[in-house]
């Protein structure tokens, strides 16, 4: 076991040293078959958690048997990654930007993860797989942005990140980089400072965090963020709206205020995707829309994230703050995506 692994908990026996598991949590470990999203949580996160099954940090990190309940609308690939993947590790869904899934590892496996068909295995892209992605980018002049995610981009080996950046910087047009990570809140002291250096050397790079609750921001996180900001790396946050975690005005306001105080722009708030076994963490869309409406009337535009959802089956992103839906009936909301195609999202009940 390496130094890094000692900072993480991956089995229920270790969990019990920190918290008393409740029936729903114990039942997950009894039922599990090995095909589920694994347990992985940092000791740092455990220290931020309260010994309460309803604690917002615990709900994001500790699995419950509810993950075995699959609703009719859920899928293992809710936003249609597979149908938009021309090359291994690359998703090309929108004309001018692509997503690179550089690794399938994460610092913590979030129980709401929508990319659970990909995350939690244990590999990163090889140099030859990165070469195939770079060839694709070189042949598609319309691509201007790459979003490097996973998994968690900061879990990729330093040399893999460096190899990717060298290749991207050789392309003879600007290639804006967006890096998606949760590592800084999950294990701030575990972030490799050489990776921060590498990121700071890149032109046009944005670091996009996922922070869902104000209590995720610890003094250790603040020190890391001070370093990242001192290196001139711009910071944004993409949160996920989660039942029992941040589905109240107070929780959203305190999150947004704490982010802008730290120089992190709240960028997006996402409605939960229809990922298998995540219904207990989704907020019904009727309530989500009214919550966001109230939030937008309450806080400044600097503090207000955009609110969006991804239509199932690769239907694309729709911004919910504009014309939220074209119609709704008892079962579904109907939306038009950016290409004018109608998609639907279920009208789940409380
Ligand atoms: S960090 Fe992102 S990809 Fe990893 S488990 Fe959490 S939500 Fe999924």
What's the pLDDT score for residue 3?
47
Domain annotation covers residue 21? no
Whether ligand 1 lies within 6 angstroms of the CB of 115 is answered as yes
Which CATH number covers residue 117? 3.20.20.70
Residue 323 pLDDT: 66
- Give the domain extent around 239: 69-319
pLDDT tens digits, one per residue of 294-336: 999 999 999 999 999 999 888 888 999 876 788 999 999 999 8
Q: What is the pLDDT of residue 321?
A: 86
pLDDT above 70 covers a percentage of the chain that reads 98
326 assigned to some structural domain: no
Confirm whether 4 is domain-assigned: no
Residue 240's φ and ψ, nearest 5 degrees, are -115, 135
Residue 2 lies in a domain: no
Q: Which residues pair with 87 in a beta bridge?
A: 90
The overall average pLDDT reported for the chain is 94
Residue 80 lies in a domain: yes
Residue 167: per-residue pLDDT: 98
Q: Write the residue with the smallest CA distance to atom 6 of ligand 1.
A: 110
Total number of domains constituting the chain: 1
Residue 28 lies in a domain: no
Q: Which residues contact 21 (CB under 8 A, 6 or more apart)?
A: 12, 15, 29, 62
**Residue 185 CB–ligand 1 contact under 6 Å:** no
DSSP state of 337: -
Q: How confident is the model at residue 91 (pLDDT cuts 50, 70, 90)?
A: very high
152 CA distance to ligand 1 middle (Å): 7
Closest ligand 1 atom to residue 118 Cα is 3
Instruction: Please indicate whether residue 182, judged by its CB atom, sits closer than 6 Å to ligand 1.
Output: yes
- What is the distance between the alpha carbons of residues 8 and 107, in angstroms, rounded to a whole number? 8
Q: Is residue 31 part of a domain?
A: no
pLDDT of residue 172: 92
User: Atom of ligand 1 at shortest distance to CA of 186?
Assistant: 1
What pairing do the DSSP bridges indicate for beta strands 342-346 and 97-101?
unpaired
User: Does any domain span residue 238?
Assistant: yes
Token readout for 201 is 């050397």
């Amino acid at each position: 076991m390496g130094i890094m692994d000692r900072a993480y908990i991956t089995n229920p026996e270790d969990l019990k040293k920190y918290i008393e598991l409740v029936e729903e949590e114990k039942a997950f470990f009894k039922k599990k078959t090995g095909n589920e999203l694994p347990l992985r949580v940092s000791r740092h996160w455990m220290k931020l958690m309260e010994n309460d099954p309803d604690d917002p940090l615990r709900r994001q990190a500790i699995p419950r048997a509810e993950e075995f309940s699959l609703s009719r609308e859920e899928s293992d690939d809710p936003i249609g990654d597979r149908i938009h993947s021309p090359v291994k590790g690359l998703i090309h869904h929108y004309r001018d930007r692509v997503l690179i899934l550089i690794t399938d590892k994460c610092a913590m496996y979030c129980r709401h993860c929508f990319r659970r068909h990909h995350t939690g295995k244990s590999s990163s892209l090889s140099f030859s797989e990165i070469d195939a992605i770079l060839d694709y980018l070189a042949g598609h002049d319309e691509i201007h942005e790459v979003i490097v995610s996973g998994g968690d981009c900061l879990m990729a080996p330093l040399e893999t990140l460096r190899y990717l950046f060298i290749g991207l910087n050789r392309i003879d047009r600007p290639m804006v980089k967006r890096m998606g990570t949760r590592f800084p809140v999950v294990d701030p002291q575990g972030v490799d400072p050489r990776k921060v250096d590498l990121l700071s050397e890149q032109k046009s790079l944005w670091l996009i965090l996922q922070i869902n609750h104000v209590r995720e921001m610890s003094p250790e996180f603040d020190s890391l963020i001070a370093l990242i900001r001192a290196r001139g790396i711009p910071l944004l946050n993409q949160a996920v709206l989660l039942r029992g975690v941040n589905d109240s005005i107070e929780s959203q306001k305190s999150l947004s205020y704490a982010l802008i105080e730290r120089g992190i722009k709240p960028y997006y708030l996402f409605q939960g995707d229809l990922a298998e076994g995540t219904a207990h963490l989704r907020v019904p869309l009727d309530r989500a829309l009214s919550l966001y409406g109230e939030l937008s009337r309450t806080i400044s535009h600097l503090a207000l994230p955009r609110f969006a959802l991804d239509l199932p089956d690769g239907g694309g992103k729709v911004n919910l703050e504009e014309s939220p839906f074209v119609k709704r009936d008892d079962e579904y909301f109907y939306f038009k995506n950016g290409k004018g195609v109608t998609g639907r999202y279920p009208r789940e009940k409380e």
